[in-house]
Every structure is written in C-alpha cells, then in structure tokens.
Amino acid sequence: MKLICARRIPALDSDTLEYREAKEALFRDGNGFILYLSDGVPPPLCRERLILLSSREALLWLNEDRAEAGSFWE
C-alpha cells in the first residue's frame, strides 16, 4: 500500500466550539484506492472511516477545493 496524499482540515466542533483537525489520507493498493477519514476527536471517541474509491473518485478527491474539503464524510 502506498500513501498518495494526506491532508488536515481545520474545523470547529459545533457543540463545544473546540478546534479540531480532521485528517484525510488517500492510499493506493493493488486493487484501487482507499480513503482514510478521521474526524479529529481524540481517541477513543474519534470516528474513523475507510472508503474504497474508484480511479475517478480518487481524482475528484485529489482535486477538491478547500471549500469542498471533507465532502466524502457525507
């Protein structure tokens, strides 16, 4: 597995107004792409996800504007 790109997204928690940094990382393995998402909450309460992406979806993620960052959480 190879790391393609990683980024941090600054955010405020809507309940506590605490500053957080969500994390996203795109990996490539022999079968395609894997997107790792973390909401930035300290463990053990953090929410993490792994999403399998097609080549097209990986390109869309790589080319997102800053305003669109975090769109794969939906």
User: What local confidence, expressed as pLDDT, does residue 9 receive?
Assistant: 85
In whole angstroms, what is the distance from residue 67 CA to residue 53 CA?
21
Query: pTM for the full model?
Result: 0.80
**Model confidence pLDDT, tens digit, residues 16-68:** 788 888 899 999 998 899 999 988 887 788 889 999 999 999 999 998 877 66
Q: Among 25, 7, 18, which residue's Cα sits nearest to residue 45?
A: 18
Residue 12 reports pLDDT greater than 80? no
